[in-house]
Amino acid sequence: MLDARLTQVADFVRNGSRLADIGTDHALLPAELVRQGICTYAIASDIKKGPVAAATRTVAEAELADKIDIRLGSGLETVKPDEVDDIVIAGMGGETIAMILNDAPWVKAERYRLVLQPMTRAEKLRRYLWENGFDILSEAVVQDGRHWYTVIHAAFVGKNFIPDELLCHVGKVSLPEGLGYLQAVKNRLCKQQKGDPGIETLLRQIDEYEQNGGAL
């Protein structure tokens, strides 16, 4: 059973796709997607031996070892371009996710779909995507316990775009569903503020964005 955060991640994975789950931890996501028949094959990869051992147990218990490969390594170094269609990178900081993508230039192809769930610095990840030829197709926010998360569904389109700070912080979060998430963004900015006029301006812009029902 997936928690609310991973359930939302799973919702963006295409039916019939081959999956790479980077930073898989216990491999719960690929095991569930393969078990349901949504993914025909999956690579569950992690940089640490502990999670790889846990993932191996999950896959063995689910009797899916013939459909899920467990790999030890950093980022997308464990994956070959022709092995997968959809790529999940979840549970890491936005800057780390951006670095993983940047280190694998082969992901800049329209055939792939990226499902990205940053735990922090989502604005940094959005900026990286837009400035490097990707587009954010959609976003979904989810509350899991006391925390709000965004899940970003992206693809390479070959057109670079320079976003402003407001767009980097609100992304394609829809309202009113995303009000709780945007409140969490504002709370974090307030803690950083300390008289910074740039942050004060950004907070006002987010308030106006909310008042306008999500219109930029």
pTM over 0.85: yes
Q: Are residues 176 and 150 in the same domain?
A: no
Longest CA pairwise span in the chain (Å)? 57
For residue 123, what is the domain's CATH number?
Answer: 3.40.50.150
Q: Check: CB of residue 173 under 8 Å from CB of residue 139.
A: yes
Q: Are residues 154 and 176 in the same domain?
A: no
Q: Are residues 95 and 16 in the same domain?
A: yes
Q: Mark 105-136 as b/e (b = at least 16 C-beta within 10 Å).
A: eebeeeebbbbbbbeebbbbbbbbbbebebeb
Q: Are residues 132 and 212 in the same domain?
A: no
Higher model confidence: residue 198 or residue 41? 41
Per-residue model confidence (pLDDT) at position 27: 96
Mean per-residue pLDDT over the chain, rounded: 95
For the chain, percent of residues with pLDDT exceeding 90: 91
Q: Are residues 81 and 131 in the same domain?
A: yes
Q: Are residues 117 and 203 in the same domain?
A: no
Q: Are residues 108 and 85 in the same domain?
A: yes
At residue 127, does pLDDT exceed 80?
yes
Please state, in angstroms and rounded to a whole number, the distance separating the CA atoms of residues 5 and 160.
29
For residue range 68-105, what is the model confidence (pLDDT) as tens digits? 999 999 999 999 999 999 999 999 999 999 999 999 99
Domain count, the chain: 2
Confidence of residue 144 (pLDDT cuts 50, 70, 90): confident
At residue 111, does pLDDT exceed 80?
yes
Q: Are residues 42 and 106 in the same domain?
A: yes
Q: Check: CB of residue 130 under 8 Å from CB of residue 161.
A: yes
Please state, in angstroms and rounded to a whole number, the distance separating the CA atoms of residues 73 and 29.
18
Q: Are residues 159 and 177 in the same domain?
A: no
Helices (H) and strands (E) in the chain, counts: 8, 7
Q: Are residues 24 and 89 in the same domain?
A: yes
Domain region containing 134: 4-163
In single-letter form, the type of residue at position 168 comes to C
At residue 215, does pLDDT exceed 80?
no
Q: Are residues 63 and 145 in the same domain?
A: yes
In single-letter form, the type of residue at position 61 comes to E
Q: Are residues 22 and 98 in the same domain?
A: yes
For residue range 183-207, what is the model confidence (pLDDT) as tens digits? 999 999 998 876 678 899 999 999 9
- Find, among 31, 32, 29, the residue nearest to 9 by Cα: 29
Confidence of residue 213 (pLDDT cuts 50, 70, 90): confident
